[in-house]
Amino acid sequence: MKNFIVLAFLVIVVAASIYFTVIYDPELEPKRAFDQAISEFAKNAELLEQHFKKNASLPPSTKTLYLTSGEQSGLTAKMQVFAQYVILTFSSGEWAVANQTIVLEPLIKDQQLRWKCINGSLLVRWRSKDCRLGNGILISEL
């Protein structure tokens, strides 16, 4: 019986170690929040892009984006549009991304409008590869 208890304990320890080193990713929640914010922004970007192409500036406005799937239930991002950039600010709360910002700047590259997304207070490692490299994102690819 004593050997069985020790063996069961070892199995639990091994299973926990595998979970925390291989399966559990503490970076997953903030990365999902970033992806959701960009996805919701993309739904509003077409009009912004059309305006920017015609006027070389963006139409100022403010809108709340609702990011409500999975662990981010109740998380929102406030979208503030200024003449030359957009700021997405995550709502306050218990999330790793709470009160963090993403600054999106329109950029014409290879005759396509991309959104440079390297600036803001959100940690760079939580952003997509194109954002981390400073290439910007192409909304049509989302």
Domain parsing of the chain, residue ranges: 26-141
- The matching CATH number, chosen from 2.60.40, 1.10.10, 3.30.700, 1.20.1740, for 26-141 is 3.30.700
Q: Tell me the pLDDT tens digit for each residue of 64-116.
A: 988 765 555 678 899 999 999 999 999 888 888 989 999 999 988 888 899 99
The single-letter DSSP state of residue 137 is: B
Mean pLDDT of 26-51: 87
The single-letter DSSP state of residue 125 is: G
Q: Report phi then psi at 104, rounded to 5.
A: -110, 125
Q: What is the pLDDT of residue 85?
A: 96
